[in-house]
Amino acid sequence: MTRKIAVLAGDGIGPEVVGEAIKVLNRIDTSFEFEHALVGGAAYDDGGHPLPQSTLDLCRKADAVLLGAVGGPKYDKIQPPELRPEVGALLPLRSELNLYANVRPAKTIDALSSSSPLREGRGKMDLVVMRELTGGIYFAKPRERRDGGDTAVDTCIYRRHEVVRIAERAFEIARQRRNEIVSVDKANVLETSRLWREVVTEMAGQNQDVKVSHMLVDNCAMQLVRDPSQFDVILTENMFGDILSDEASMITGSLGLLPSASLSDPKDGQVFGLYEPVHGSAPDIAGQGKANPIATILSTAMMLRYSFKDNEGALRIERAVEQVLNEGLRTADIMSDGCRPASTIEMGDAIADCL
Of these partners, Mg ion, ligand IPM, none, which one is at the site of residue 86 (CB under 5 to 8 Å by kind)? ligand IPM
Beta carbon of residue 204, minimum distance to ligand IPM (angstroms, whole number): 27
Beta carbon of residue 278, minimum distance to ligand IPM (angstroms, whole number): 7
Identify the bridge partners of residue 185 per DSSP, sorted by sequence position.
216
Of these partners, ligand IPM, Mg ion, none, which one is at the site of residue 172 (CB under 5 to 8 Å by kind)? none
Helix (H) or strand (E) holding 33: strand 33-36
Beta carbon of residue 242, minimum distance to ligand IPM (angstroms, whole number): 4
Residue 36 burial (CB < 10 Å; 0-12/13-18/19+)?
Answer: middle
Nearest residue (CB) to ligand IPM, 244 versus 291: 244
The C-alpha atoms of residue 90 and residue 196 are separated, in whole angstroms, by 25
Using CB under 6 A as the criterion, which residues of the chain lie in contact with ligand IPM when the complex forms?
86, 90, 242
Using CB under 5 A as the criterion, which residues of the chain lie in contact with Mg ion when the complex forms?
242
Active-site pick, 29, 45, 154, 218: 218
Beta carbon of residue 175, minimum distance to Mg ion (angstroms, whole number): 27
Active-site pick, 11, 232, 242, 310: 242
- Residue 187: closest CA among 209, 171, 151, 163: 163
Nearest residue (CB) to ligand IPM, 101 versus 350: 101
Asked whether the beta carbons of 182 and 233 are under 8 A apart, the reply is yes
> Where would I find the beta strands (DSSP E) of 139-290?
143-146, 151-154, 180-185, 211-216, 233-236, 259-267, 270-277
Nearest residue (CB) to ligand IPM, 12 versus 348: 12
44 flagged as catalytic: no
Of these partners, ligand IPM, Mg ion, none, which one is at the site of residue 90 (CB under 5 to 8 Å by kind)? ligand IPM
Helix (H) or strand (E) holding 221: helix 217-226
150 flagged as catalytic: no
Identify the bridge partners of residue 145 per DSSP, sorted by sequence position.
152
Nearest residue (CB) to ligand IPM, 86 versus 346: 86
Nearest residue (CB) to Mg ion, 237 versus 242: 242
DSSP 337: T
246 flagged as catalytic: yes
The C-alpha atoms of residue 300 and residue 307 are separated, in whole angstroms, by 10
Beta carbon of residue 242, minimum distance to Mg ion (angstroms, whole number): 4
The residues assigned a catalytic role are 138, 186, 218, 242, 246
